[in-house]
Structure 1
Amino acid sequence: MGERICSKVACNREAVATLTFDYEDQMAALGPLGAGNDPHAHDLCAQHTDRLSVPVGWTVLRHDTFKE
């Protein structure tokens, strides 16, 4: 299995975390890299993980078990 790359446009850094959303509960979850086969999950590098922002009123759950 090759290196996983950040999902952000024009970013070619190695992914360290996976971001998923729960639109109904207005929640985003950021945690360890997922299985890689979920089309609704987004892999992020350390820089984009640190810069993550969500819409006003949303909650971010950070599972800090991933390696940066």
Structure 2
Amino acid sequence: MRQRLCSKVGCAREAVSTLTYDYSDQMAAIGPLGREGDPHAHDLCALHTERLSMPRGWMIVRHETLQL
């Protein structure tokens, strides 16, 4: 299986989450690594996932996976 890398320019870390935007609702959703090949999604490494910020007025929805 091919390793997926962070979408941030200049970052070569392995992706651990996927970010999507809903511009009309000024919302971003970040969760577990999604399907590969979605042109509207951005894969992020752990560092960029943790540092994620949005413009003032935007909401971030973080979907966490259950750790059993």
Smaller-chain TM-score bracket:
over 0.9
How do residues 5-20 of structure 1 correspond to structure 2 at under 5 angstroms?
Answer: 5-20=5-20
TM-score (norm 2): 0.92
- Structure 1, unmatched stretches of 5+, are none
The runs of at least 4 consecutive aligned structure 1 residues that moved more than 3 Å come to none
- Aligned length in residues: 67
How far does the alpha carbon of each residue in 1:25-61 deviate from its partner, in whole angstroms, 9 at most, with x for none? 0000000111112111000000000000111000000
1:57 alignment partner, SS class: coil
- Structure 2, unmatched stretches of 5+, are none
Q: Matches of 1:37 and 1:10 in 2, distance apart? A: 20
- Percent identity between matched residues is 67
Normalized per residue, which structure has more helix? 2
* Cα RMSD for the two superposed structures: 1.5
Which structure has the larger Rg? 2
